Structure 1
Amino acid sequence: MSSSNVHIADDNDSLAEMLGYRLEELILLKLNKKQIITIGLSGGSLIDLLASMLPRLQLPWARLRFFFVDERFVPFTSDDSTYGNYQSKLFRQLPLTEKNIIKIDPTLSTVEECAKDYQNKLQEAFPDEDKSFDIVLLGMGPDGHTASLFPNHSVLNINEGLVTFVKDSPKPPAERVTLTLNTINQAKYKIVVITGESKSAIIKEILREKNKTYPIAQINNLVWYLDKAAAKHI
């Protein structure tokens, strides 16, 4: 296993610092080549990790565009809203305006409409002909899912467009908007951040035993950031 694509930290503080340095490095690298940098965010434990270190970074905030790798089709006031959690824990600490954050419209009638609207917003966010995202930050569930791409679910086979929707998520809430597997794979830098021993066995399956059946294992050129508990078996 190459150390260049697997990074292991002693604890969450070290993991956040390691991730922060890498994000700063990638953003500054991309700034030499383009005006706007697109960064995809996932929910879960990643929110707290980013909230602990991102505000300390010296970044050109006006040139960054944050979007969501997936989002639950719920009001922003819901505890299940990824945007709502980022807004309360991170975004308020940063010098951002509405134009810096690309989010779904949960007031639309259906999740299908929401996905179409979100795709239009994302397409408008690309400043040039290159329609691939710069940095995508992913998480992984205990079943190996990433974004709202679940094992053995038909959503894994949808690759047209940037975005699709889920109406029957095996993990509640049932209705979600998510980037397609193809969209994630086309991103320039893909990073997965995982904490906790509960996911260590599945990480071993993917990294040691090369099990490609899990959605997270179908992401190409993925770089892993793990704490010691998650990396226990590798």
Structure 2
Amino acid sequence: MTHRHILVVDDPEALAEAATRYIVARARQAVAARGSFALALAGGSTPRGVYRRLAHAPWRDAMPWAQTLIFWSDERALPLDSTDSNYRMAREALLDHVPLPPEQIHPLAAQGDDLDQAAARYEAVLRRLVPGEPPRFDLILLGMGPDGHTASLFPHSPALDATTRLVVATPEAPLPPQVRRLTFTSRLINAAVEVLVLVAGADKAAPVREVLQGPRRPHELPAQLIDPQAGDLWWMLDRAAASQLSTLHE
């Protein structure tokens, strides 16, 4: 059974602060319980605010960096140094500023002509480094777009129907940059101990309402696929993103 929680805060700054506090707490709990913390990062503007907080005191000093493994839940088919790369955003906002051993950073390299092979290589890395079958991340960080997509699981994408794979290549994205991508599948995401979805902005209010309180239409609203049966699912929203929700009973 999924344990779903919804937290609404005032604005994007409060959202970033709440998410940062949550990540640090979960990291410390995972290290105390299992000796390591496997974290999958997300792209987008909302997570950037979290990464910047994690990069500076007091949160930087509270994180167990020596026991943290970093991965990415999706990536664009671009060079890792591209300004549109999720890896580059995280590196500039966070990774360049914390004492994280380089060998514990595992970019999702969506490059080359054969993206299916690249997806298979990353899946092999996950199976080697993250315990469980399927691999069970301690925390996967996600966002959601105005079309209801999460990671690079877009409406009507064939990636939505992947039931055995952990990482897949997608067709060109319908949003900029319109390139192919690699993405975690819902099977891998739903195996996590914790999933945290961060959403900010009034342009997300209608899809937030439809995903959380509307009828189930996962091919139109892929974020509805996120349903970790043996884990916790947190939706953290700013007030603008939550503005169309009816009374919450979570």
TM-score by length of 1: 0.91
How far residue 127 of structure 1 moved from its aligned partner, in angstroms, is 5.3
The answer to whether the 8 Å contact 1:47/1:89 transfers is: no
Contact map agreement 2:75 2:182 (CA 8 A) in 1: yes
Q: CA RMSD in A?
A: 1.9
Whole-angstrom CA distance in 1 between matches of 2:133 and 2:183: 22
Distance 2:213 2:109 in 1: 40
SS in 2 for 1:151: coil
> What residue is the counterpart of 2:118 in the other structure?
114
- 1:147-182 deviations in whole A, cap 9, x for unaligned? 111112211001223211113332333211111111
Provide structure 2 residue ranges, at least 5 long, that are not aligned to the other structure. Answer: 246-250
- The structure 1 residue matched to 2:142, chosen from 138, 142, 155, is 138
Contact preservation (8 Å) 2:126, 2:135: no
Q: Does 1:227 align with 2:220?
A: no
1:93 aligned to 77, 97, 102, which one?
97
Q: Name the CA shift for 1:128/1:79 in 2 (closer, same or farther; >3 Å).
A: same
Identity of aligned residues (%): 32
- Aligned equivalents of 1:29, 1:212: Cα separation in 2: 35
Contact 1:105 1:117 (C-alpha < 8 Å) held by counterparts: no
- Match of 1:156, SS? helix
Task: From the superposition, tell whether residues 15 and 174 of structure 1 become closer, same or farther in structure 2 (CA, over 3 Å).
Answer: same
Query: In the superposition, relative to structure 1, how do residues 20 and 111 fare at CA in structure 2: closer, same or farther (>3 Å)?
Result: same
CA distance in structure 2 between the aligned counterparts of 1:181 and 1:198, rounded to whole angstroms: 24
- Residues 117-196 of structure 1 correspond to what in structure 2 (within 5 A)? 117-126=121-130, 131-171=135-175, 172-196=177-201
Aligned mates of 1:106, 1:218 — CA distance in 2: 23
Instruction: Give the distance between the partners of 1:161 and 1:153, measured in 2 at CA.
Output: 15
Partner of 1:53: 53
1:209: which partner in 2?
214
Q: Distance in 2 between matches of 1:125 and 1:211?
A: 34
Distance 1:125 1:216, change over 3 A: same
In the alignment, which residue of structure 2 is the partner of 1:199?
204
